[in-house]
Amino acid sequence: CGLVALAMASQEYTKPVSVSQLLAEARVRGFTQHGEVYSVDFMGTLAAEHLPDHRPEILVDLQACPDTLTCALNHGAMVLIPYDSDFNHAPCLKRGHKAHWALLVGLISS
């Protein structure tokens, strides 16, 4: 689902990339066998190449800088974020055993 999220993000640019193109490239580079991409670094590499107008920034600990995500989204950034998915698809902590990727494109604030 990381490749799908990245392909979705690329639709905002002049040269969008398809999931099949990303999958082929990720396989050649040894990033995946069946489409799963667990490494943030690998996703960052693919994003840097296919979203050339925007240099990806990898944040390791959002708890250390909680305003960074909010600020980025408020300024129109798209954010690829890895998470574990619980039985009801809500985010949870499963040590990467239920890994998924989300494409965040905005936020709702009250």
1 labelled catalytic: yes
Identified catalytic residue from 1, 65, 71, 92: 1
Measured distance CA(101)–CA(1) in Å, rounded: 6
Helices 40-50 and 19-28, axial angle in degrees (round to 10): 120
Helices 40-50 and 2-10, axial angle in degrees (round to 10): 20
Residues recognised as catalytic: 1
